[in-house]
Amino acid sequence: MSKADQLFVTMCQDIIENGFSTEGQKVRPHWPDGTPAHTIKNFGVVNRYNLQEEFPALTLRPTAIKLAFDELLWIWQKKSNNVHDLNSHIWDEWADEGGSIGKAYGYQLGKKYTFKQGEMDQVDNVLWQLKNDRYSRRILTNMYNFDDLSEMNLEPCAYSVTFNVKGDTLNAILNQRSQDILTANNWNVVQYSLLLMMMANVSDLKAGELVHVISDAHIYDRHVDIVKELIARPQYPAPKVTLNPEVKNFYDYTVDDLTVENYEHNPQVKNIPVAI
């Protein structure tokens, strides 16, 4: 059975059974009908995914792996903050009339800084270090730029990645300040697993472990019954997910370089209410 499924089930059960409820507290999110969107939450959830054992896609329901990859490329490769450069509509509600989400996500990764090796953005700095100083303990990115927060239509949730090389293996820690477990958990896990695979391949390394650290892991009140049904479903073996090994330039990757095989899963969960 998929280890990603097992981690997801354990995490959700712990939140539902032992989490803190914000019922009765003042909260920012609300439902489209104006009702406050309360959550049950746990603090400091840490999940570890070993990509050398399996690719961590849920089988409890399908994750749209290619769409997740497309969004990852939009942020990390195109470094775009405009939804017109994206092949899905998941960011539309945060976009202005011109399609911009403000100085968030891709904008931050494309912002140039002066490093010891010269002027470059955060992604190019990671690529440079993995090639020239791979055992550095300073290989990281951070999209939570306080100078620009007021100009972001949505402050980054998954905001920082730290890369670390152990022998010939590249590992990473994804830091996330907040996560809607039902709608976004496996989406982000899949994305940053693919990012780790990309970075490893173009740096002649093996993809190792993704450690996902979530400060506020929550399930919305209107999602609890959906999650209970979801985690009771049967589980299947993880799919085989690979990237084209011939691509050696990070900026040459396209969605067509992603292959998903043997992805057996339960039906999709539809009509999930989304808090705003």
What is the per-residue pLDDT for 55? Answer: 98
C-alpha separations of 117 from 20, 64, 79 in Å: 46, 38, 21
Rounded CA-CA distance 45/175 in Å is: 10
Q: Assess whether pLDDT exceeds 90 at residue 1.
A: no
Q: Determine which helix (DSSP H) or strand (DSSP E) holds 194, and give its type and residue range.
A: helix 181-202
Catalytic residues: 157
Q: Specify binding-site residues for dUMP.
A: 137-138, 177-180, 188, 218-220
Do residues 149 and 115 touch, judged by C-beta distance below 8 A?
no
pLDDT at 28: 94
Res 276 pLDDT > 90: no
Q: CATH number of the domain at 3-261, out of 3.40.50.1000, 3.30.572.10, 1.20.1740.10, 3.90.870.10?
A: 3.30.572.10
Binding residues: 137-138, 177-180, 188, 218-220, 275
Q: With CA atoms as reference, report the closest residue to 70 among 273, 259, 255.
A: 255
For residue range 73-97, what is the model confidence (pLDDT) as tens digits?
999 999 999 999 999 998 998 999 9
Would you say residue 191 has pLDDT above 90?
A: yes
Average pLDDT over residues 4-15: 98
State how far the alpha carbon of 80 is from the alpha carbons of 72, 76, 85, 118, in Å: 10, 8, 7, 22
* Mean confidence (pLDDT) of the chain: 97
Tens digits of residue pLDDT in 104-141: 999 999 999 999 999 999 999 999 999 999 999 999 99
| pLDDT at position 201 | 98
Share of the chain above pLDDT 90, in %: 98
Helix axes 224-231, 3-18, angle to 10 degrees: 140
Q: How confident is the model at residue 35 (pLDDT cuts 50, 70, 90)?
A: very high
**Per-residue pLDDT averaged across 251-259, rounded?**
98
CB 188 within 8 A of CB 212: yes
In sequence order, which residues have a C-beta less than 8 Å from that of residue 192 and are 6 or more positions away?
72, 158, 161, 172, 174, 210, 212
